[in-house]
Amino acid sequence: MTVASLAATHEVFNQSTPWADANLYTTNQPLQDALRLHAPDLPLARLTALGAEMGSAEMAMHARLANTYKPQLRTHDRFGHRTDVVEFHPSYHALMGAALRHGLHATPWSRQGIGHAHIERAAGFMLFTEAEPSVLCPVSMSYAVTPALRGNAAVWADWSAGLASTQYDPRLALFSQKSALTMGMGMTEKQGGSDVRANTTQAVPDGDDAWGARYRITGHKWFFSAPMCDAFLILAQAPGGLTCFFLPRVLPDGNDGAVNTIRIQRLKDKLGNHANASSEVEFINALAWRVGEEGRGVAQILEMGTMTRLDCALGTSGLMRQALSIALHHTRQRSAFGKKLIEQPLMRNVLADLALESEAATALSIRLASAFDHKDKSEHEAVMARLLTPVAKFWVCKRGSVFAQEAMECLGGNGYVEEGGEGVMARIYREMPLNSIWEGAGNIMALDLLRAVRRADTAAALADELAPARGAHPALDRMASALPLRVDAMTTEAEARRLAQDVALAVQAALLVRSAPSAVFGAFCDSRLGGDWGYSFGTLGAGADLDTLLSRALPA
């Protein structure tokens, strides 16, 4: 008997192949239709190229390696000098290079005046998220700080070109010596969390220079994500109140290339988001420059938060889409009880229900991005940006975790392991809670919604938004009639979550009637608005057209 025959205990069969080397854009019909609705003249070559790259086996490999080999903090060199350096696996840098090369950090700002820049960037952000979401944290923050950074014209003049550059440069070096720059944020402290007004970090005036009013910063930040960025916008208490400051890692010319005194205490050991470094830091007389007026810090971070909250909705929508694609790919190949899994009636209902949820999330997220393209030119779009930002962040992100768990069940035990193609599902599941928590958890979004609806123009704008769908479905008509009245009457915080849910569902339905086949729209309204639905995925009513839902979700 040979060694080979001893090893051949069984034949491996009935296993699915990895979901790889697929174009994530051309296989995503709901995304294409959402873009066709809001940006019918958008050139698609860049998104098609990005979809191919993000769906490649090479990018899947980089995502796996960047999450397996987590960032490592090196506070000192071997001689005892303080360094505060975070080291990353080369795959992290490969992913960051791709994100910047495709302009996901800066496209809308570098292409101002060109139509649909925010929408195109939003679609690209979703496609990249399907490959790897963690590295998009510094990308999202770089995107979000740009409008606020213009509050210091001198800093903006020096940094704007580097922040718009697509040639990633991971080195710790003076800003003028780098091919591209990235930025992070530092808002949260131990005692305050979302209540940034409780911040205790102090900013003491230290004169003026070419960048304007300079301050010395002493204090800490409890969550300081992406500490290897080139600079940060932080909040600190100045003599005039809570103020926004620009804090570079390497000090500008005239400081002998000194590194700012930002001490990284430790990296966070997080549930997910493993490729990205999040840290706790202390500032010891660190140099920073004021951005905007003293005492205006909260207003400025709200503007930044609007941008990052858009990205939370986009990111969760992208993760939903990837989880759905993996589940559909697996169930088409795996057999049980004499049939392919996707042919089993219960599984078909689950997958169709997930497809419906994913398409609705995509529709709402792209709608929100379109408001950012037009809010400076249209009062209606400005109102919808205020209204839909907390709504989309709340509802889409809340749906993410339960969506990922159901998609994981489609793979069974294979979906629970941290290995191979199926391991992506476990990574998605661990990543899902982040977007719901980051930049304001559910209650903060509900409070933001209340601030939006208390403005006199909100109820009328919502009625206008829903008007094109009136008469398309009785359940939607009932909700469309009731919602503006509820918005006008909303006075209590206790009902704000329910309002956020219902606004999200109504707007999703109103979008689907314009972008999706009638079978998709009808199934959504029957289940989400009409009550023909259970308390878990896979409970669509008997009238739902499962064949259309499944064939639309992912081409064979």
Element at 219 (helix H, strand E):
strand 212-225
Looking at the domain assignment, is residue 20 inside a domain? Answer: no
66 and 139 both lie in a single domain: yes
The residue segments making up the domain with residue 281 are: 177-295
104-108, 130-134, 297-301, 551-555: lowest mean pLDDT where?
Answer: 297-301
Radius of gyration of the chain (CA): 24
375 and 503 both lie in a single domain: yes
Residues 6+ apart with CB under 8 A from 171: 178
148 and 209 both lie in a single domain: no
Question: 262, 295, 328 — which closes off a domain?
Answer: 295
245 and 322 both lie in a single domain: no
Question: 261, 295, 329 — which closes off a domain?
Answer: 295
Looking at the domain assignment, is residue 11 inside a domain? Answer: no
Looking at the domain assignment, is residue 12 inside a domain? Answer: no
State which amino acid sits at residue 176. S
266 and 370 both lie in a single domain: no
Report the alpha-carbon distance of residue 338 to residue 332 in Å, rounded: 13
* 204: CATH: 2.40.110.20
Contact indicator for 548, 359 with CB cutoff of 8 Å: no
CB atoms within 10 A of CB 416: 14
Q: Is the pLDDT of residue 315 over 80?
A: yes
Looking at the domain assignment, is residue 239 inside a domain? Answer: yes
pLDDT in tens, 431-479: 999 999 988 899 999 999 998 888 878 999 999 999 999 999 999 999 9
Pairing of β 183-186 and β 231-238:
parallel
185 and 143 both lie in a single domain: no
Question: 131, 164, 197 — which closes off a domain?
Answer: 164
Contact indicator for 154, 210 with CB cutoff of 8 Å: yes
pTM of the entire structure? 0.95
128 and 236 both lie in a single domain: no
286 and 330 both lie in a single domain: no
Query: Quick one: pLDDT at residue 419?
Result: 77
Q: pLDDT-derived band of residue 484, with 50, 70 and 90 as boundaries?
A: confident
For residue 61, give the nearest of 420, 431, 425 by alpha carbon: 420
186 and 247 both lie in a single domain: yes
**pLDDT, the chain, mean:** 93
279 and 313 both lie in a single domain: no
pLDDT in tens, 199-245: 999 999 999 999 999 999 999 999 998 999 999 999 999 999 999 99
Element at 118 (helix H, strand E):
helix 117-131
Which residue in the block uniquely carries the two structure tokens 């609007």?
A: 306
* 546: CATH: 1.20.140.10
Mean pLDDT of all residues in 45-53: 97
Domain count across the chain? 3
Looking at the domain assignment, is residue 454 inside a domain? Answer: yes
pLDDT in tens, 522-556: 999 999 999 999 999 999 999 999 999 999 998 87
88 and 133 both lie in a single domain: yes
Looking at the domain assignment, is residue 4 inside a domain? Answer: no
141 and 233 both lie in a single domain: no
Looking at the domain assignment, is residue 221 inside a domain? Answer: yes
Looking at the domain assignment, is residue 307 inside a domain? Answer: yes
